[in-house]
Chains A and B, each alone.
Chain A
């Protein structure tokens, strides 16, 4: 008896076709953005009036977009480093130790992913107001750390479970202390998880808009909020060009990182 019976026949064909349609649904709109970014027309819609790189050139001269890009990049890099360190420590605690209240701790760590971002946004803003602090970029960083933490904990936890405890025990029995063990054994083993979490946090932070709209200092735009305010003005081909560039960066980066992680995992083995 093989599995073939459940993967054949008319029903299965229909499922396959449907799946292809779902994938088209997910990617067609994005492809349209990419295609339209090369449209020569001054309006962002169809029909295409010719191929042009004009909008990319215009984008490169757009100061506010460049400023927003720098802001987002800075926030995302700081967030991903701090958040990954915190999240990895927490994940180690959850995987390597048994302690009372673990279930409870787990729930709290996951909570920010389930509480609506709008509520988290309002809450942090109220805290700042309550403490009479100005809104600065650091508020954005702190907020993004909170938003991304659950995902780091989840991802790193999943990888850590796969790292056998015996390696560490062996190292310790050979006379290495805890720190040495961590540096020489655990760290290389969980390196792929670290890279993955850095990238994950980076994307979460770089992409966040819902909560960032509440937190950003007045007058400061991050990449997504800049796109939103550009959208309010018009659907210009410039936005399509910007979208395309961002897709290239945010898809290219993790693919590169994924390759790197695989390479590191290979060399650690």
Chain B
């Protein structure tokens, strides 16, 4: 039987973290809920009276719906493209017999160390009018006018893939690495072709990792606003940009709170559906190692 002190100990160890998260995360979300029912008077000023105006505005204004939909669409495209690019790479890293596999793995971690801002703006040099692609194509005489690629939705998606791909690869890699190799060998001896072995054994068993990667990419993409700011035009704004502008430029705190809650509820719902089937702790398996 545990003594009282023994039962208390884990809670003592957890206390600093839990208190911090309560004060800095849970309490603010409660306050956010409260603010979303306050009345906006003028920039920087709100009245503490109960009103459903902000929610009403959100529900009836097509401007917000358009951006919510756009954010979901862009994030979904990003996540799916990440999967298509990340899966083969992860498969290759997991299966390779290359002696210095650790180098490949290290290179997967390195992007996490390089500033996100720098990684994002580096695309300006690739996609811009004086970027690598345009300059090369023009030198080769394939095009006479630089193609407009920067400050488009495509550039934003490209930037987000660049930032999210390592998350996807790591998640899938951990899943494939965990598969018992004997299963694959068994499938092959039973007459499966290489492709069948992959399709029947590796793919299903790595699916949880793939799903975790998709969730992570989708959530991180949907919450971003700096990438559109750097690589997109004002028209390529995402929901995060709307929130940022509402709060930081218009100083409309009640509406900003409402919009933040909308984003939280949306992404929370996605994560909840996921965790029902997969369990949330999976998501970070790739990062825990």
Q: Are chains A and B touching directly in their complex (CB below 8 angstroms)?
A: yes
Cα A209 to Cα B253 in complex, Å, equals 21
Asked whether A155 and B280 contact (CB < 8 A) given A6-B184, A93-B13, A207-B115, the answer is no
For the complex formed, measure the closest distance between the CB of A44 and the CB atoms of chain B, giving whole angstroms: 7
Q: Which of chain B's residues 164-196 have a Cβ closer than 8 Å to chain A?
A: 165-166, 169, 181, 184-185, 188-189, 194-195
- Bound Cα distance from A126 to B17, whole angstroms: 21
Contact check, B284 vs A214: say whether CB atoms are below 8 A apart: no
Asked if B142 is at the interface of the complex by the 8 Å CB criterion, the answer is: no
Binds B, one of A20-28, A54-62, A167-175: A20-28
Point out residues on A near B: beta carbons under 8 Å: 1-7, 9, 11-12, 15-16, 18-19, 22-23, 25-30, 32-33, 36, 43-47, 85-87, 89-90, 92-94, 96-97, 99, 105-120, 122-127, 129-130, 142-143, 145-146, 149-151, 153-155, 157-158, 203, 206-207, 209-210, 213-214, 223-224, 227-228, 231, 235, 239-240, 243, 246-247, 250-251, 253-254
A155 to B122, CA, bound (A): 29
* B125 in contact with A150 (CB, 8 Å): no
B162 pairs with A29, CB closer than 8 A: yes
A122 & B115 in contact (Cβ 8 Å cutoff): no
In the complex, the chain B residue whose C-beta lies closest to that of A125 is B247
Across the interface, do B21 and A3 meet the contact criterion of CB distance under 8 Å? no
B residues with CB within 8 A of A: 7, 9-11, 13-14, 16-18, 20-21, 23-25, 27-29, 31-32, 35, 85-86, 88-89, 91-93, 95-97, 104, 107, 110-119, 121-126, 128-132, 135, 162, 165-166, 169, 181, 184-185, 188-189, 194-195, 197-198, 219, 222-226, 229-230, 240, 243-244, 247-248, 253, 256-257, 260-261, 263-264, 267-268, 271, 280-281, 283-284, 287-289
Do A3 and B181 touch across chains, with their CB atoms under 8 A apart?
Answer: yes
Supply 11 A–B pairs (Cβ within 8 Å), ascending by A: A6-B95, A16-B92, A16-B96, A22-B89, A45-B130, A46-B131, A90-B18, A142-B24, A207-B117, A224-B116, A228-B230
The interface residues of chain A lying within 8 Å CB-to-CB of B248 are 213-214
Alpha-carbon gap, A155 to B289, bound state (A): 6
Provide the bound-state CA to CA distance between A257 and B88, in Å. 31
Contacts between chains A and B (CB distance < 8 A), count = 282
Roughly how many angstroms separate A118 CA and B224 CA in the complex, as a whole number?
Answer: 7
Q: Are B17 and A86 in contact (CB under 8 A)?
A: yes
Chain B residue contacts of A154, Cβ below 8 A: 284, 287-288
A94: chain B residues within 8 A (beta carbon): 10, 14
| Residues on the B chain within 8 Å of A239, using CB | 121
A119 adjacent to B17 (CB under 8 Å): no
Whether A116 contacts B219 in the complex (CB less than 8 A), given A207-B115, A254-B113, comes out as yes
CB distance A45 to B32 under 8 Å? Answer: no
**Distance (whole angstroms) from the CB of A121 to the closest CB of chain B:** 8
For B97, the chain A residues whose CB sits under 8 A away are 3-4, 7
Identify the closest chain A residue to B121 (Cβ): A231
Q: Are A243 and B20 touching (Cβ within 8 A)?
A: no
- Note all chain B residues with C-beta closer than 8 A to A254: 113
Docked pose: A114 CA to B263 CA in angstroms: 12
CB neighbours (8 Å) of B18 from chain A are 90, 105, 108-109
A114 to B222, CA, bound (A): 11
**Contact B253–A126 (Cβ < 8 Å):** yes
CB-defined contacts of A246 to chain B, threshold 8 Å: 114-115, 118
Contact of A5 among B166, B188, B225, B288 (CB under 8 A): B188
Among A22, A130, A224, which residue has its beta carbon within 8 angstroms of that of B117?
Answer: A224
**A240: which B residues are within 8 A, CB to CB?**
125
> What residues of chain B lie closer than 8 Å to A26, measured between beta carbons?
107, 111, 162, 165-166
Q: Hey, which chain B residues are within 8 Å of A224, CB to CB? A: 115-117
Of B17, B107, B116, B197, the residue contacting A207 (CB under 8 A) is B116
Using CB atoms, name the residue of chain A closest to B188.
Answer: A5
Q: Contact partner of A124 among B16, B24, B121, CB < 8 A?
A: B24
B25 lies within 8 A of A123 (CB): yes
Instruction: Report how far A243 CA is from B122 CA in the complex, Å.
Output: 9
Give Cα distance in the complex from A106 to B18, angstroms.
10
- Residue from B16, B244, B253, B283 within 8 A of A86 (CB atoms): B16
A145–B20 contact, CB under 8 A? yes
Residues on A with beta carbons closer than 8 Å to the beta carbon of B29: 119, 123
Residues in chain A near residue B96, CB distance under 8 A: 7, 16
Indicate if the CB atoms of A3 and B113 lie closer than 8 Å: no
Q: Which of A2, A32, A96, A149 is B125 in contact with, Cβ under 8 Å?
A: A32
A-chain residues with CB within 8 Å of residue B162 when the two chains form the complex: 25-26, 29
Contact B122 A87 (CB under 8 A): no
Task: Report the separation of the CA atoms of residues A130 and B254 in the bound assembly, to the nearest whole angstrom.
Answer: 12
Are A116 and B223 within 8 A (Cβ)? yes
How far, in Å, is B281 (CB) from chain A's closest CB?
Answer: 7
